Amino acid sequence: MDALYREEILEHYKFPRNRGALQHPDITYKDTNPLCGDEVQIDLSIKENRVTDVKFQAKGCAISQAATSMLTDMIEGKTLDEIKQLGKKEILEALGIELGPVRLKCALLCLKVLKSGVYGIKEWPT
């Protein structure tokens, strides 16, 4: 089972969905994994409280990039309220493998960036 998920992670890493930047995003947020300095930026276009477009730029390991790619797939068409309901469970289910504490930070960086952008907050409580 693990091998299947690993393959999917590699697939998202090699062929990320929604990579790039939006010209005029309604929400944009970038943050860093304090453990390694890797970065994720997510841009969102919002219409009537719903995500109409999403792009990301990321510099980091396979887990962080794959998780970000999966998350952007997950949120297209979702309302901001639905995004606020997303938690680490959804990311970890999408990745589908057991992660230690260091890798957990890699996996959850995208969620931290997304939520910080959507809530409009500068600092995410750690």
* CA distance linking residue 100 with residue 66, whole number of Å: 16
CB atoms within 10 A of CB 25: 18
Query: Considering only 5-13, 20-28, 61-69, 86-94, which stretch makes contact with ligand FES by CB under 6 A?
Result: 61-69
With respect to ligand FES, which residue has the nearer C-beta, 13 or 75? 13
Candidate list 64, 68, 69, 116; residue touching ligand FES; CB under 6 A: 64
Strands 27-32 and 50-59, sheet pairing: unpaired
User: Of 120, 121, 125, 108, whose CA–CA distance to 33 is shortest?
Assistant: 108
Q: Does 61 bind ligand FES (CB under 6 A)?
A: yes
Q: Does 31 bind ligand FES (CB under 6 A)?
A: no
* CA distance linking residue 79 with residue 26, whole number of Å: 14
Residues 58/36, Cβ–Cβ less than 8 Å = no
Q: Does 44 bind ligand FES (CB under 6 A)?
A: no
Q: Does 60 bind ligand FES (CB under 6 A)?
A: yes
Residues numbered 69 to 108 that lie near ligand FES (CB under 6 A) are 106
Binding site for ligand FES (CB under 6 A): 33, 36, 38, 60-61, 63-64, 106, 109
